[in-house]
Amino acid sequence: MRTIKFLRITYLITLMLFFVSCKKDMNREGKNESSEQKQQQTNIAPTDPNGDSIYIKKYDYLTFHSILTTIPDTDADKYYEKYSDNYKPHLELGKKYPFSINITGSVGEEMKKMIKKNDSVRLILTTRDNHLDVLFADSDNNKYIITDPVIKKINDNDFKKMDSTFKVGIYNEMTITKIKLVDSEHSGDKTYGNTTEILIPYAEFDKYDPAKHTLAFLPGVVTNNTFNSKKKSKMHHLTLIMCLMDLSRTKALRTSPTVFSDDFCLKPPGC
């Protein structure tokens, strides 16, 4: 496991929180905004074609462009950029592919209580309201929704329905995207599907302090041609990047974030 200081991703998350807050303010102000204010907002971030959510295009928004481009490249940065390029993520839930999957402190506390020191943190990719989401599974294979303000256990029937919806919908799209990348870049392995589960070693997750850190899982696409135990390439598979941030109440970074970045033991079907 490789720990890296990864400021660019943190700027993205901080910007997302800022933009969502700005959008709420804009809705309240409505027609009182001047044309000059509207132009400034357009310069900060464009809206998507439907006009109902903010879409951040790659790393080219004006105010922060010079800052972001000075951050050295890392594998995690490449993972995140490839995900952004190929899945066209949006800020708001309800869109298929999120920029980040954020976990509240209260949910994080409950997760830590259920994780034993010899466990890995098991995250299961799923679909909720037609967007990519994750569930947490404890050592007894109980499943929990962790992307709401409060953790919620789901029963086996509900999980099977969610998993079925995921497999015939977003998961198929993810696998098609992976195969296109294999074909276009002439690398990787298209003989098996995309990621279904991700395991994070406890030693890494133990560094997460719910009272101190904001926890985010950032989707990425593996850019290294590494192999699993069955000698299958994990290139172009979807992964998650765990980011721990020490934020003030105003969402400002107190210290540089810590990012844990490798493939987190990706599990495609049949592996």
Instruction: Supply 49's token pair.
Output: 């074609």
Cα separations in angstroms, 24 against 18, 45, 49, 250? 10, 14, 19, 16
Q: Which one-letter amino acid corresponds to residue 228?
A: N
Position 50 pLDDT exceeds 50: no
pTM recorded for the entire structure: 0.76
Per the model's pLDDT, the better-predicted residue between 61 and 265 turns out to be 265
CA distance 237 to 188: 9
pLDDT at 175: 95
CA distance 204 to 244: 11
Q: What is the mean pLDDT of the chain?
A: 76
Per the model's pLDDT, the better-predicted residue between 49 and 229 turns out to be 229
Position 40 pLDDT exceeds 60: no
With cut-offs at 50, 70 and 90, classify the pLDDT of residue 39: very low
Mean pLDDT is lowest, of 99-103, 107-111, 137-141, 200-204, for 99-103
pLDDT at 262: 79
Position 20 pLDDT exceeds 60: no
How many CB atoms lie under 10 A from the CB of residue 239? 24
* Residue 137: strand pairing partners: 122, 143
**DSSP for residue 48:** P
Tens digits of residue pLDDT in 98-112: 878 889 999 999 999
- In degrees, rounded to 5, the angle at the alpha carbon of residue 180 between the alpha carbons of residues 216 and 147 is 20
